[in-house]
Amino acid sequence: MSTLFTKIINKEIPADIVYEDDICLAFRDINPQAPVHLLIIPKKEIVSIDTLTDDDKDILGHIMVTTAKIAKQEGLDENGYRVVTNIGVNGGQSVFHLHFHLLGGRKLTWPPG
């Protein structure tokens, strides 16, 4: 089932897009939890890590490499950053289209709540 992220991919609702290619899209989170808070998503409608198949390996590899490039572009590579994906209700997922949070620009605490 499509989510609002599909509408962002299709430019039906606005987002502050920082990177786009055929496979993925990165845009600023509407409710940032750090000075830099981006969401990196596949254009393919995948619900979460939990629903990945072998066919998605190239997409995921591409997203991880691209995430590192975007982190550098945002100036986060020197001091470090966090990449996290929430899965399902207990994981804290609220939008059921796979997304990786890229958080940085401050010292992040661990463990998360």
Residues 48-107 that bind ligand 5GP (CB under 6 A): 86, 92-95
Give whichever of 28 and 43 is closer to ligand 5GP, judged by the CB atom.
Answer: 28
Give whichever of 58 and 88 is closer to ligand 5GP, judged by the CB atom.
Answer: 88
Stretch that binds ligand 5GP, among 27-35, 54-62, 75-83, 105-113 (CB under 6 A): 27-35
Q: Tell me which amino acid residue 28 is.
A: R
Q: Return the closest-CA partner of residue 41 out of 57, 55, 59.
A: 59
Q: Return the closest-CA partner of residue 32 out of 113, 108, 110.
A: 108
Cβ neighbour number for residue 44 with a 10 Å cutoff: 13
Q: Is 99 a catalytic residue?
A: yes
Residue with tokens 């572009």: 73
Q: How far is the CB of 26 from ligand 5GP (least distance, A)?
A: 10
- State the catalytic residues: 99
